Structure 1
Amino acid sequence: MVAPAADPGDAHEIHCRLDELLAERGMTLARLSELVGVTVVNLSVLKNDRARAIRFSTLQAICDALGCEVGDLLVRRR
């Protein structure tokens, strides 16, 4: 499960590359939702960099479904 969206003033340096990884794999957010067991809405919050937290189990399930590592999914903006 992904935590609710952060306040707009709570900018952070972590960027989720979910859009890029989905595009590279030809996968939709809806399909990832089915594979991971997380709602499309929660995945969208993560995809749009509005999540404040993510469970390790969700992060692992996303990485398993996408065949990637955590560092491929989450990067630090500079």
Structure 2
Amino acid sequence: MHLTIRLSEVLKERGMTQKQLSELTGIRPAAISEICNNQRTSINREHIEKIADCLGIHDVRDIIRLEK
């Protein structure tokens, strides 16, 4: 089992770019890109909270999936 981050899909659904998300959250553009491309082995809890708040996400399962 592994975690998959659906941030790229969620951004597309909301018509938002990675750059816009970076500007709104204060998270480095490179970090946003790595998260969108599932290149991170760990994600800062604060980043998840900022992203969820910015995108109006109330259930973390909307952006994080546990897959087999």
**TM-score under structure 2 normalisation?**
0.89
C-alpha distance in structure 1 between counterparts of 2:37 and 2:8, whole Å: 9
- 1:45 correspondence with 2:45: no
Selected match of 2:60 from 70, 75, 78: 70
Structure with higher strand content: 2
Runs (4+) of structure 1 moved beyond 4 Å?
A: none
SS of 2:65's equivalent in the other structure is: strand
Structure with higher helix content: 2
Work out the number of aligned pairs and report it. 67
C-alpha distance in structure 1 between counterparts of 2:62 and 2:55, whole Å: 10
Larger radius of gyration: 1
Q: CA deviation at 1:45?
A: 0.7
Query: Cα deviations across residues 6-45 of structure 1 (Å, max 9, x unaligned)?
Result: xxxxxx7111101110011110000000111111111111
Q: CA deviation at 1:60?
A: 0.3
| Structure 1: gaps spanning 5 or more residues | 1-11
Q: What does 1:5-20 align with in structure 2 at a 5 Å threshold?
A: 13-20=2-9
Structure 1 vs Structure 2: percent identity of aligned residues?
A: 34
Q: CA deviation at 1:53?
A: 1.2
Q: CA deviation at 1:52?
A: 1.3
